[in-house]
Amino acid sequence: MDVGFIGLGSMGQHMARSLLRAGHRVTVWNRTPARAQALATDGATVASTPGEAARAGFVLTMVSDDRALEAVVSGPDGLLPGLPRGGVHVSMSTIGADTAERLARQHEEAGRQFVSAPVFGRPDAAAAARLSIVAAGREPAVTQAMPLLQAMGQRVFVVGERPAEANIVKLAGNFLITAAIEGLAEATAVVAKAGVDRRQFLDVLLGTLFDAPVYRGYGSLLLEERFSPPGFALPLGIKDNRLLLEAGERLAVPLPLASLIRDRMLAALARGYGGLDWSVFARITAEEAGLTGALPAATPDAGAR
């Protein structure tokens, strides 16, 4: 298939390469041109504007946040005027449900189709085409996009016909990841203060009730303090947490644990950890418990999703 791909950050570059490996003809655009040029060596065509990338009839976006997405959609060089009538835009970024609803209306009014398909997985999963993808949108558009989604992920979950439904699922899922990180941080702090080896404690967890990818992956990351380079940077985690809290307020759903995690993330940001992985907020618990270690040097690039 001919497809445009916009947004070549730490995730997008791997996803675009997966499409190329699957035999799709990919036209790429990125705000930083050098990242797009790097894909040209793998066979991609480099577009000069988002609108040019969208002329293929299918365009996928993987940008950092709501504002960045709306910037590449709108304007004379945006993807929406460049996308042919009836064309499909698949947004794979983690954005707010209200933004997804607004973009769905905007696309429908313009005679284009909009699908939300955010992903679960870090850059290593994107590189291996093993992302888990949550899709929502009108059935014909989702069906048409399925070969592209399957080229990037190990499984595609279709959760509804309103694009915003996929974004709510993604935000709720990310919240559960942060809840697991907070739980691991508190539990490992108390066992460490009691003199128990933290690695042995993690082995017990993984060998009994908590043998799950989130505990296995983040448990090792926390114990080894592998916060740099970031797989997903702290400011983006704060953004996702804010979007979840906004959804909770709109829906009248109290989210006290999400509020606690927001404060943990803000405390980590205040300590200068903004260039590190979002899981670095677990260090706040360790510091409060008097458990300190060598912190990896912060990197200036907050990354892109």
Q: Are 185 and 261 in contact (CB under 8 A)?
A: no
Residue 29: both structure tokens together: 């655009």
How many whole angstroms separate alpha carbon 187 and alpha carbon 223? Answer: 12
CA-to-CA dists, residue 238 to 212, 215, 261, angstroms: 24, 20, 9
Q: Is 170 a catalytic residue?
A: yes
How many whole angstroms separate alpha carbon 1 and alpha carbon 25? Answer: 6
Task: Give the active site residue among 170, 262, 264, 305.
Answer: 170
How many whole angstroms separate alpha carbon 258 and alpha carbon 176? Answer: 9
Q: In 101-195, where do the E strands start and end?
A: 113-116, 119-120, 131-136, 153-160
Question: How far does CA 259 lie from the centroid of its chain?
Answer: 20
Residue 251 CB burial class (10 angstroms; 0-12, 13-18, ≥19): exposed
Residue 165: both structure tokens together: 């439904």
Beta bridge partners of 88: 58, 113
Count CB-CB contacts under 10 A for residue 196.
13
Amino acid, single-letter form, for residue 58: F
What positions carry a catalytic annotation? 170
